[in-house]
Structure 1
Amino acid sequence: MRPPQPLCELTIKVPGPFEGVDDLGFSARYPAQGRFAPLRDVPLWIEGPAQPLRRLHNRLRLLHEAIDGPYAWTDPVQLADEVVIVAFHDRSLEPRAAEDFAQASLDFVLNLVRPVVFPFLSDCARVAHLRLADRIDMTVEAADWPVARFSMRVGQIVPENGFDLLGAA
């Protein structure tokens, strides 16, 4: 029997997910990893104009401080005026009480199969109160080849949209 093939590197690109700032977007870059290995951190590279990105950087700190559950967000790092990076960190396998094993297993599977763009956008609206665009486009790529393209209404991603515009002065 041959060993399982590793999961290949994947990128999910999301251009213009925030209302009023069409030229600010992000890419979630899943590193290659073993099929049954714990989920590695997934960095999100966020690029856009300096002013809205500076506001977003401050709001992303709220995600780092507020999220408590099966995943966490790293503290955002501003690499340049127009680039911020933050990462999704799976916490589902951290030690828990024995009675929480079933929930930990469910959390692990959910973190493994649900694209990180969904908790990121949801947390941006719910925790950071940022207003998402009415339609959000996504492209999934493997080895720089498009695998899928799709568009979703904001209501399919978050039950309630945020109210703060990144482009507001």
Structure 2
Amino acid sequence: MATHFPLPSLTLRVPAPFSGVAELGFSARYPEQGLFSPLRDVPLWIEGPARPMARLMHRLHMLAATSAADHGWRDPVSLSDEVVIIAFHGGAKAAEDGPLVRPEPNYLLNLVRPVVFPFLRDCAEVAHLRLSESIEVGVLRSDATLAELRLRLADITSSNGEDLLVA
């Protein structure tokens, strides 16, 4: 009889990742799931002022139209002029090729290499958005902070976009 070992729900918070908009940030929530369950989509909740969010929404559609070998993005959904949700889909190409043989390493890999890195990299490289030079990432479980990181842009991507979300 197999034992169910749930992987905990985690939230990653990233305040002000885009250059020029301190009030715009996002959270990625990894849902709790069983160790041997297929990798679920990871939703990103993006919040900020209405004008930059309207510009961002157009760019998020660019991400959804493009998929990399190891990930893709679901179509963004606007909940209000200040809140948008987009979901990270791990293994976009692998899902087209057939079922995952061992899904649990993908979930664990995503815990080591959070979805925020592909999101920020795709924002810079695909959507051409300018990111902040220093990006903070908080890792939370329930209400407890597990880690706080401050990363240089060069640790996330080798290139930066040129477009700002503010006019």
Deviations 1:40-93 (A, max 9, x none): 010000000000011001000000002242211011111001000000012364
Query: Distance between the aligned counterparts of 1:91 and 1:2, measured in 2?
Result: 25
The within-5 A match list for 1:6-25 is: 6-25=6-25
- Show the counterpart of 2:3: 3
The within-5 A match list for 1:9-158 is: 9-91=9-91, 93-96=94-97, 108=106, 110-111=109-110, 113-158=112-157
TM-score, structure 1 normalization: 0.88
* Structure 2, gaps ≥5 residues long: none
Following TM superposition, by how much is the alpha carbon of 1:114 offset from its aligned partner in structure 2, in angstroms?
1.8
Following TM superposition, by how much is the alpha carbon of 1:2 offset from its aligned partner in structure 2, in angstroms?
7.8
Give the % identical residues.
53
- What SS does the corresponding residue of 1:94 show, helix, strand or coil? helix
- What SS does the corresponding residue of 2:36 show, helix, strand or coil? coil
* Stretch moving more, 140-149 or 61-70: 61-70
Q: Which amino acid aligns with 2:52?
A: P
Query: Distance between the aligned counterparts of 1:153 and 1:91, measured in 2?
Result: 26
Structure 1 stretches of 4+ moved >6 Å: none
- What SS does the corresponding residue of 2:120 show, helix, strand or coil? helix
Following TM superposition, by how much is the alpha carbon of 1:111 offset from its aligned partner in structure 2, in angstroms?
4.4
CA RMSD of aligned residues (A): 2.4
Query: Distance between the aligned counterparts of 2:148 and 2:137, measured in 1?
Result: 6
Following TM superposition, by how much is the alpha carbon of 1:3 offset from its aligned partner in structure 2, in angstroms?
1.9
- Show the counterpart of 2:158: 159
- What SS does the corresponding residue of 2:65 show, helix, strand or coil? helix
